[in-house]
Structure 1
């Protein structure tokens, strides 16, 4: 075995010399490994490094924020121009606040403090709703411009006993109890009471409540009070299955509950915008008047005045969502001398196209005004000021900061009257503009190119190593075999 090993070594003198030189110079092997390691680390670092600042999602427009120092939180209202850039399908999640270095700070929609309230008791007339007839359209229930209940009978005369009544509380009230009027005869019936803010969507406030009046004087039973619960509402509906309801035509109910103090409400000031008619078209025997707003604004009220030559009109307000869909906002009846009427309130929602439909043509398009309250955002003083408001992006969305918890902690520490410090906005300036609103972002070639460089570097190092291994070693003057 020893003879065989010796023969193998002597038969490869060049390999023996190379081995001897590598043994004498171990730095040769170590330097090769270090060089290869450095190349791989550099390439991998370039591939795995975070995106540069220029690769961050872009926003369309920005507004510099002028904020006083020392506040625990700041409140910013979205300007009207911001709604033209905020994506409607993003739900205002493409609204952020950044610091002087462009880093996002903790921000989110502002939740107003709970308003104070006081007890209220009021009397309201019960308005009977006539029954409909089979196969014929029943009565129509709508709101007038100032919010009064309008009950229009159906095409056929009403038949049978009344089973449904409405009453108007005149303001949004959180209900607690409802007292029905006394009766001249004995009665025992079960009623359902519902509440609504638009006469279309109803929520139960009491179900199957009993009303009993038996006898008079000592020993009589007089149970005419029903306890209520549920959301605060302005309109209420009473229904019964009994054909023997004891209430007269002029009966009144007494509603007790609590109402918010309007002066103490923590809300943005309502802004009014006059909208010009953009299109007029015949529709269903009447006329449609369209009004396109400059942006999809959170409209919460509408009011109408007639043009010259028109004195009375009945208009249906519609929020147009698409060519085939829309939401009915309510009926507006305009008569002479109604300039001081209250506007028609509608659920706050971003709307851009409002349509007024008149069953009869008018001499000129009505004048429409929309009321809206700007959305408000709160942000915390993180990072380095000055801060900037950024709006509008197809892909970027605001981080889920626990801003509500932070605001609640500040209210606990500073008292219920505490409010975030209001800021002012400077002049708007474009960032990425309309490019930020495109849904297809350009392909980022940075990562693929870096991977290609990494692979090419690895192949080059492997090729160099193979070449060095195949190359015969230079002659060593100290090696007797080299002579």
Structure 2
């Protein structure tokens, strides 16, 4: 009998879960809606989220963002926070090379040498540590001077002369002081002739590390060829400015001299602030604090020197502070007034957050709209690699574009008004009625089973 009761209750719970899952989110569940226009080839579209739109969210991480089609169906979407792009700068440098001799038949792996270098480490002369007689010396390899290259080394290109064609195999070692050497593996170049064709390989890959000197030692055969050219390819990555979106100017307040506060529309991950300096020749050492709400203590975020100085008839301005990107909703700026202060009125302030892209998969009839403003819903965004099965950064750049329609005014929907004027959802009421009746029926059956006398044997 207990098994029957468990089955009855399991059936009731399953029905309840099915009803709750079936009650999908609707556009009316959100306080703000923004029409979207799409161009280009779908079915994926990419939208740069304007900050004015983001400020209508009720959740800091935009968990309450949704995309709907014309029929009110939710669209699958992903959010991508912009990261600072990098630019790789590649350089090809001709380097000096110095021969490394050893006694013929010597068992030492590396020749012993005496080195003369300049104050900045550039090699001037490299000689064997002991004088070798003519005919006794053997060219074992070459020492390359890379002291003038500061970027990581990516590739080595050699040219040489040799009595016969074939492969040239050698070990590669790196050092910064000519005393301690680190193995960078082995290299191979080749010059081959086959029938009437000539095949040459001059490039050798390097591990992408920095070093002041390279040592190339031939093993088989022991005698190295004569180099005629040595070039090193280096590459360095330079971070470009982080893509940011800026807010309109916010007015603040001042409770006492040298202290100003601002209230943000909602909690934001602020990356940078800009303080408006109205008066020429302003100089202000400042410290910026932040917190999520007034019940929490202020936390220091940044400090620096803000100024607007007139030089040669032109203004030289530094009015920005960089922040760590943590969530704040209130900002406070304290000013060391020994520099003259910023006046009794709080200056206007702009804040910047990291640019965010929305990518959605268009399904069903357009036009499409963006909805925000619901503090109770959970995040529904997918990873980009799930939304776009063959995702790559290059593919992201080729997606169709979605934009907020020009001149669009964000539609605000009062939840109180909508609850009064919304038409009665008879379907939902009927489903809940069926659920309640089913639960009541199961309860009656359970009671009757409990009261039924046990069968006589």
After TM superposition, the score normalised by the length of structure 1 is 0.47
| Pair member with larger Rg | 1
Q: Which has the higher helix share?
A: 1
Q: Which has the higher strand share?
A: 2
